[in-house]
Amino acid sequence: MELKKAEKRYHLRTRDYAQLAAFRHALRKFLRFSEAAAGEAGITGQHYQAMLVVRACPEDARVTINDLAQQLLIKHNSAVELVDRLSHEGLVVREPSSADRRKVELRLTGRGRQVLAKLAGMHRRELQRIGPVLKVFFARLSR
């Protein structure tokens, strides 16, 4: 009987659980797609995510390693190691910060932009494909 009390307290029905499970499944499928697409391009999903953060920054601004760590929800030293791997693969370069010489700023290389553009296009197409399902989910959620 405790379960029913909890469900009443939080206003949950089987339909709500089904919607949450369907949303979780859609997210997992998208993440699996993303990992596979990155792997086919010869990089990891985390490499793709990091490159996306760097490229999403406005042209007149730069991403620091600290910014990257915050965006990816990882520790600073993990971001340093990630940037080391990206740099070794020729996907990003470190440049001294013009504002603070203690910091370095990240920039995609030409190769990095090419790899990212290909993957971003694939991700956009996948989101366009699954978008209607997500739209229905959010419409039902907001009722």
9-60 pLDDT, tens per residue? 888 888 888 888 988 998 999 999 999 999 999 999 999 999 999 999 998 8
Q: Assign 2 a pLDDT band (cuts: 50, 70, 90).
A: low
Nearest to 31 by CA among 142, 141, 138, 130: 130
Q: Indicate which CATH number applies to the domain containing 98.
A: 1.10.10.10
pTM to 2 decimal places = 0.88
- Contact between 49 and 72 under an 8 Å Cβ cutoff? The reply is yes
* DSSP states of 39-78: HHTTS-HHHHHHHHHHHHS-TT--EEHHHHHHHHT--HHH
Between CA 42 and CA 23 the distance in angstroms is: 29
Q: What's the pLDDT score for residue 3?
A: 66
Query: Residue 58: which domain range?
Result: 2-141
Domain count, the chain: 1
Phi, psi at 118, each rounded to 5°: -60, -50
